[in-house]
A and B are shown apart, each in its own frame.
Chain A
């Protein structure tokens, strides 16, 4: 089974997000004075061939732990969708 995977890697709460903070400071200059909590994250997309959704998810979680995210400063969220041949 093929799955399309989207992994969002974001900063852990409390870890500085200088890019988000800078964009947040820039937006009011354009008149958007009602914007808060800007954060800039990373999105990783991939496709994976696995026997089941659980197997695919387990493998993706492992990849996140070992390479795709750094648990000291980041957390991640995995979204997974089966690709159906058309």
Chain B
């Protein structure tokens, strides 16, 4: 049976179909999870995709975290299920307390939409389990609030516990310690600002995102096998 991945859709989400498309090309059974449903419908992995959930009103991700589906996503994550937040999804996961820190406006005060080089820093996450540390991937970013920030203690913990998953080779947005993606303590929840689904075919300019999505699917299968 193919791996079932739920892709969360809030009002204002706009990358859910791209994520579904990219995952289905890798053989997954990807389906949309409506934000108003308080369940993840028994999927093996969850992706919180990019966009502007609930208009990003108040702060990015601030309203989305109260959607019924997020309670279910929180329970799924607590049980060890793989959860990946991409861009706005990363912002939602930090607001929901599933990942530490926050995303603030880019230092240059400009919206950034271009490919960037990312260095994979650890294999210790569901998104990078199949990628050798040190690998450089070219994947697009598309954000205004991608400037990662957290307090000094949190940063120390992220480094000591090998939870900085991806770093920018050339920091585009002022992110603390060049951080582009972080993982939870168990490594099963990952948030990243770049969009792997937009680098999933050479026609899109890069297919460097495929190894990340494949890692997620493999982690989902392992997580199901582990029961």
Contact = CB atoms under 8 A, between A and B. Distances in A.
A19 B109 contact: yes
Most A CB contacts (10 A, CB to CB) among B104, B106, B150 go to: B104
Interface residues of A, number: 11
A5 to B, nearest CB: 16
Contacts of B66: 67
A73 B174 CA distance: 15
B105 A18 contact: yes
Given A16-B147, A22-B109, A67-B58, A72 B101 contact: yes
Contact of B102 (A18, A22, A68, A72): A72
B36 interface: no
B174 A16 contact: yes
B151 interface: yes
B129 to A, nearest CB: 28
A15 B107 CA distance: 11
Contacts of B104: 15-16, 18, 73
A70 interface: yes
B59 to A, nearest CB: 6
B176 to A, nearest CB: 10
A72 B152 CA distance: 11
A15 B104 CA distance: 9
Contact of B105 (A19, A67, A72): A19
Contacts, number: 38
Contact of B107 (A18, A68, A73): A18
Contacts of A16: 104-105, 107, 147, 149, 174
A19 B95 CA distance: 21
Given A22-B109, A72-B102, A15 B149 contact: yes
A65 B104 CA distance: 18
Interface in A1-25: 15-16, 18-19, 21-22
A16 B145 CA distance: 12
B27 interface: no
B108 interface: yes
Nearest to A71: B102
A18 B59 CA distance: 15
Contacts of A72: 94, 100-102, 149-151
Nearest to B176: A16
A18 B108 contact: yes
B158 interface: no
Q: Taking each of A18, A19, A68, which has the highest tally of chain B beta carbons within 10 Å of its own beta carbon?
A: A18
B149 A70 contact: no
B39 to A, nearest CB: 23
The 4 closest A-B pairs by CB, nearest first: A72-B102, A18-B109, A73-B102, A18-B105
